[in-house]
C-alpha cells in the first residue's frame, strides 16, 4: 500500500430530524420553501439556486450561499443540513484507487454503521463504486460482504452522500473545473449490499444524481449491479433507466445455487428471461454479465459453452472478474492462462469478454472485498 491511511473527522449531525438537502427531490425542496412563505413566483428560482449550490458548488454550509436571503437560509438550517457523513478512514492504493470508510448514523443502537466507497481512476474515466446497504442479506460464498449480516438499508441521502464525499476529497466540483472535466465520470452500484433489496432509496438517489439541474450524470454512465432479484429487473429499466449488470457467475443452476444462493429462489431460467425482456435491450444497449473466475469451480471450457448458450438471445458483454481473495475465503482464482482461454471462447462466439483488471487489492478495495472495518477488526481479534 502507498502511504496512506488518513484518519479524518468532520462535523456530525446526529439529530435525526435534520434532513440532508441532497437526499431531497427538487419538488420536495420546493414544497418546503412554500412552507417558508417564499413567494410562488420565486419558488422555482430559489429551489434551483439551492440545488445548484449543492450539486455544482459543492457547499457544505448554508453560510457559503451568497445569493439567497439570509433569513431563508437561517430557516433552512433549522431543518436541513448540507453536511456529509463522516469519513472514518481514507486509503489510497499504489494503483491510485481510493477507498473511504464512512461512518453512518446509528439506528437501534447498532454498533456497526460503516460502509465503504471506492474510486477507480482510469485513463479516460473515473468510476465511483457506491454501497447500497450496510452488509448484505445474501450470502454469495465468494464475497466478503456476504459474510457480514445486513445491518440496514441506506437512505437516499446516504447513497448520494457517497458521491459528494468523493467529489469533496477529489476536489471534483464544477467551480474548480471551469472546463467541466470531471474526475468522477461513472457510477456503479457495485459496493456493499444488494441494490434491488433497497429499491426505493436507490431509485431516488439515482434520480437525484441524474437530475439535469444538478449533478446531471448520464444514465448511460450509471450501472446497477444485481445478484438477480428477478421481480425488480424490469422496474430498473422502466423506472430508473440505467445500465444493468447481472452477477451471473455460473451458467448451470447446480453451480449457481452454491455460488449465489438466491438462485434457489430465482433460478437461471427466470433470471435469463427477465434479462431477455429488460426494457433497455430494445434500445440496443447491452447487459453486462459479471462472471467471477474460480479455479476448478466455473472456469472450464464446458462452462464457457454453457454460458454462450444461455446468453444467446441477449445483447451482452461478459466481464470476467479474476477472483479477489479476502481473509478466510475458501476459493482460488483461476490461472490467468485459463481465464484467457475462457475469454477467447466467448470472443469467438461474438461476445465482448474483457478480463477485469483487479484494482486496489492492496487496500481490500477490489470487487467483493468490501466490508465494514469494525467487523474486520473483530474478526482479527
Nearest approach in angstroms of CB 359 to ligand SF4 is 17
The verdict on 375 binding ligand SF4 (CB under 6 A) reads: no
CA-based end-to-end distance of the chain:
22
The verdict on 343 binding ligand SAH (CB under 6 A) reads: no
The verdict on 198 binding ligand SAH (CB under 6 A) reads: no
Q: 100 or 142: whose CB is closer to ligand SAH?
A: 142
Tally helices (H) and strands (E) across the chain: 11, 13
140 is catalytic: no
Nearest approach in angstroms of CB 325 to ligand SAH is 7
Residue in this structure with the C-alpha cell 439551492, named with its chain if needed: 50
E strand intervals along the chain: 19-20, 80-81, 86-92, 98-103, 114-121, 126-129, 133-134, 152-153, 186-189, 222-226, 243-247, 287-293, 316-322
The verdict on 294 binding ligand SF4 (CB under 6 A) reads: no
Nearest approach in angstroms of CB 333 to ligand SF4 is 16
Taking a C-beta distance cutoff of 8 angstroms, is the pair 290, 249 a contact? yes
CB under 8 Å to 381, separation ≥6 — which residues?
A: none
* Partner whose binding site includes residue 33, from ligand SF4, ligand SAH, none (CB under 5 to 8 Å by kind): none
Q: By rule CB under 6 A, what count of residues binds ligand SF4?
A: 11
Q: Candidates 142-150, 152-160, 176-184, 340-348 — which segment interacts with ligand SF4 by CB under 6 A?
A: 142-150
Region 72-91 residues binding ligand SF4, contact defined as CB under 6 A = none
Q: 138 or 154: whose CB is closer to ligand SF4?
A: 138
The verdict on 227 binding ligand SAH (CB under 6 A) reads: yes
The verdict on 114 binding ligand SF4 (CB under 6 A) reads: no
Nearest approach in angstroms of CB 138 to ligand SAH is 7
Residue 292, CA distances (Å) to 173, 229, 255, 335 in order: 35, 18, 12, 12
367 is catalytic: yes
Kindly report the backbone phi and psi dihedral angles of residue 195, in degrees, each rounded to the nearest multiple of 5, phi listed first.
Answer: -60, -30
Catalytic residue among 129, 136, 143, 367: 367
Number of alpha carbons in the 13 Å side-chain half-sphere of residue 381: 6
The span from the CA of 16 to the CA of 120, in Å, is 32
The verdict on 140 binding ligand SF4 (CB under 6 A) reads: yes
Residue in this structure with the C-alpha cell 439529530, named with its chain if needed: 15
Region 100-159 residues binding ligand SAH, contact defined as CB under 6 A = 140, 142-143
Taking a C-beta distance cutoff of 8 angstroms, is the pair 5, 91 a contact? yes
**CA 277, 278, 280: angle at the middle one, nearest 5?**
125
Nearest approach in angstroms of CB 231 to ligand SF4 is 15
Kindly report the backbone phi and psi dihedral angles of residue 278, in degrees, each rounded to the nearest multiple of 5, phi listed first.
Answer: -60, 125
The set of catalytic residues is: 116, 367
Please report, as ranges, the residues that interact with ligand SF4 according to CB under 6 A: 136, 138-140, 143, 145-146, 193-194, 227, 247
Q: Which residues of this chain interact with ligand SAH, rule CB under 6 A?
A: 140, 142-143, 190, 194, 225-227, 247, 290, 292, 321, 323-324, 367-368
Amino acid at each position: 500500500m502507498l502511504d496512506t491511511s488518513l484518519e479524518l473527522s468532520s462535523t456530525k449531525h446526529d439529530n435525526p430530524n435534520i434532513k440532508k438537502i441532497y437526499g431531497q427531490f427538487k419538488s420536495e425542496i420546493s414544497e418546503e420553501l412554500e412552507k417558508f412563505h417564499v413567494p410562488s413566483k420565486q419558488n422555482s428560482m430559489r429551489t434551483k439556486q439551492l440545488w445548484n449550490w449543492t450539486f455544482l458548488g459543492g457547499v457544505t454550509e448554508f453560510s457559503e450561499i451568497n445569493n439567497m436571503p439570509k433569513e431563508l437560509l437561517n430557516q433552512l438550517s433549522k431543518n436541513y443540513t448540507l453536511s456529509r457523513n463522516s469519513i472514518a478512514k481514507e486509503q489510497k492504493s499504489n494503483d491510485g484507487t481510493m477507498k473511504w470508510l464512512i461512518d453512518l448514523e446509528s439506528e437501534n443502537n447498532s454498533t456497526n454503521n460503516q460502509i465503504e466507497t471506492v474510486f477507480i481512476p482510469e485513463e479516460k474515466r473515473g468510476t465511483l463504486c457506491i454501497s447500497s446497504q450496510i452488509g448484505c442479506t445474501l450470502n454469495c460464498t465468494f464475497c466478503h460482504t456476504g459474510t457480514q449480516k445486513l445491518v440496514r438499508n441506506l437512505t437516499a441521502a446516504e447513497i448520494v452522500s457517497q458521491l459528494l464525499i468523493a467529489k469533496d476529497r477529489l476536489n471534483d466540483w464544477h467551480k474548480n473545473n471551469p472546463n467541466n472535466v470531471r474526475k468522477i465520470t461513472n457510477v456503479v452500484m457495485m459496493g456493499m449490499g444488494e441494490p434491488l433489496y433497497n429499491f426505493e432509496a436507490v431509485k431516488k438517489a439515482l434520480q437525484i444524481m441524474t437530475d439535469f439541474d444538478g449533478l446531471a450524470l448520464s444514465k448511460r454512465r450509471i450501472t446497477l449491479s444485481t445478484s438477480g432479484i428477478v421481480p425488480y429487473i424490469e422496474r430498473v429499466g422502466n423506472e430508473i433507466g440505467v445500465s444493468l449488470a447481472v452477477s451471473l457467475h455460473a451458467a448451470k443452476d447446480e453451480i449457481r445455487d452454491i455460488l449465489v444462493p438466491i438462485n434457489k429462489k430465482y433460478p437461471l431460467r427466470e433470471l435469463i428471461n427477465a434479462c431477455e425482456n429488460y426494457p433497455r435491450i430494445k434500445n440496443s444497449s447491452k447487459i453486462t454479465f459479471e462472471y467471477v473466475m474460480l479455479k476448478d469451480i466455473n472456469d472450464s471450457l464446458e462452462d464457457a459453452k454453457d454460458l454462450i448458450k444461455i446468453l444467446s438471445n441477449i445483447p451482452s458483454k461478459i466481464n470476467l472478474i479474476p477472483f479477489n481473495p479476502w481473509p478466510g475465503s475458501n476459493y482460488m482464482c483461476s490461472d490467468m492462462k485459463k481465464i484467457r482461454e475462457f475469454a477467447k471462447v466467448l470472443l469467438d462466439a461474438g461476445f465482448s469478454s474483457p478480463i477485469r483488471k483487479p484494482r486496489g487489492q492492496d487496500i481490500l478495495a477490489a470487487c467483493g472485498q468490501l466490508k465494514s472495518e469494525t467487523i474486520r477488526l473483530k474478526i482479527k481479534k
